[in-house]
Amino acid sequence: MILSPAPTDIADGDVSLGAVVALLQDARRKVAAAQADEIRLLARAHAIASEQTARVPSSEGREREMPARSIAAEIAAALRRPDRGMQNRMHDAAGLVSGFAATVAALHAGAIEVGHVRAIHDAGAGITDPESRARFEQAALAVAERETVGRAKPIVAVLAARIHPVPLAERHVQAAAQRRVWVRDLDEGMAELVALLPAELAHGIRDRLTQHARALVAATRERAADVAVARACPDDESGGASLVPDTIATDSRTTDQIRADVLTDLLLTAQATSPAQTGALPPGAAIRARVQVVIPAATLCGAGDEPAELVGFGPISPAIARRIAAGTEIWDRVFVSPTTGIVEQVDRYRPTPAQRRLLDSRDEHCRFPGCRRAARDCDLDHTVDAARGGPTALANLANLCPRHHRLKHATAWSVQQLPHGVLIWTSPTGRVHPDVPRRAVEFDARSADPPPF
């Protein structure tokens, strides 16, 4: 295969960064338009298969499957793709074109990406009522056109849960009945242990594994430092560190590896261990899982059934949210504006902790465009540096992960904070990227005018 050289205007060393970004944006729009065309063509192929199937005189299932199989095989051979997967793609494309036409049109216009299309389709496919689905699609597109795929996905899921005519509690009962654990064998003597669980349990399990892993990593670093001191000062009378086994001091496992080992230890021995039982983590250490659940007040007191939200995942049923709330000692009461959806106040006790609680509730994650690192793992950054007179006030604080905190201070990126926590980021080439608190994005989408059809 002969590859064509890059166009002169792109390959030219004199092309500015701003021009490169503009060309990339144009290229992305063209890719999105091509992906929308592919969806429409696959949908048309599905329609042709349906027309041919309707002409098959036999009622035998295998014979009636042949038109779709044949067409999928022809397309797959031309595109060098598996034909079984191609038949599924034809089916999904038909569902998109018939049920989410506005979403496909937005993809063709370059307003969203194909990942947004999948998120909208996955969340809204279960909404069979045409009017409810149209309201959901309009609200979901309002989010998708403003947010990255990663950020949009949980918001779209919440929108679908709230608009769906069947209560989430009923749908959750049916889904929870499918919970199971299975093993998928892999190569090289490995296998995957997979569990299908309610979301709040799955996220809680992973968080507990992460806490155990961090405790082991911290212990490893501390013991390694003790061993280094003991070796440097062998005659130090206080050098009990010389008795520390080298097994933990030289533990080189990654965090992912430690998570996997802790999972195995907890399931098989009921406690997490270090590589050689050196006491890095005391047996039965009280590490509890942490999940953040947002519960509407009416739902909490039982006066309403609006879905709650497991932050980072999406909607959970009111009954599960109330059960979690009943068992926790940590409460943050969040007051939200009825006109904008922005978090305005959190119960106050001491100023600094209250600011942290409010900002964590408002931001939920790092506020650099597209970043989803949880607020609890972020720094509270002064938008206007404190060294330059910026106040330690809610209107001048936002959560930034360490990576983007450093980016703000060490590069030409700049940020301005507007009312209601809206951040306006400006790139080194002058492009403006607004970042709106997630709940404001969701509120705007839900309050959008209904579609004119």
pLDDT digits (tens, 9 = 90+) for 3-16: 455 554 566 567 78
Distance of CA 163 to the CA centre of its chain: 21
pLDDT reported for residue 295 = 81
Cβ atoms of 404 and 420 within 8 Å: the answer is no
Q: Which two tokens stand for residue 245?
A: 């086994």
**What are the pLDDT tens digits along the chain (453 aa)?**
454 555 545 665 677 888 999 999 999 999 999 999 999 999 999 999 999 998 888 777 677 888 888 999 999 999 988 877 899 999 999 999 999 999 999 999 999 999 999 999 999 998 989 999 999 999 999 999 999 999 999 999 999 988 888 887 887 888 888 888 888 877 777 788 888 888 888 888 888 888 888 888 887 777 777 666 666 666 555 444 444 445 455 667 888 888 888 887 777 766 655 544 444 445 445 556 666 777 887 787 777 888 888 777 778 888 888 887 777 666 555 667 777 777 765 544 333 688 888 999 999 999 999 999 999 888 889 898 876 777 778 898 999 999 999 999 989 999 999 999 999 999 988 999 999 998 888 888 877 655 544
Asked whether the CA dihedral 332, 338, 340, 341 is positive or negative, the reply is: positive
Main-chain phi, psi angles of 33, to 5 degrees? -65, -40
Asked whether the CA dihedral 133, 139, 145, 146 is positive or negative, the reply is: negative
Alpha helices by DSSP H, listed for 186-232, are: 199-232
- Which residue matches tokens 């892993």? 213
Amino acid at 2: I
Main-chain phi, psi angles of 166, to 5 degrees? -95, 125
Characterise 171 by phi-psi region: left (phi > 0), alpha (psi -120 to 50), beta (else).
alpha
* Whole-angstrom Cα Rg for the chain: 27
Q: 3-class SS at 4?
A: coil
Q: Which two tokens stand for residue 222?
A: 């501390």
Q: How far apart are CA 242 and CA 75, in angstroms?
A: 68
Distance of CA 392 to the CA centre of its chain: 30
Cβ atoms of 122 and 428 within 8 Å: the answer is no
Task: Give the chain's end-to-end CA distance (angstroms, integer).
Answer: 49
pLDDT reported for residue 201 = 84
As beta bridge partners, residue 148 has none
pLDDT reported for residue 311 = 77
pLDDT reported for residue 305 = 80
Asked whether the CA dihedral 7, 8, 9, 10 is positive or negative, the reply is: positive
Q: How far apart are CA 442 and CA 163, in angstroms?
A: 13
Contacts of 172 (CB under 8 A, 6+ apart): 198, 316, 317, 320
Domain-by-domain residue ranges, the chain? Answer: 17-168, 183-269, 345-446
pLDDT reported for residue 354 = 82
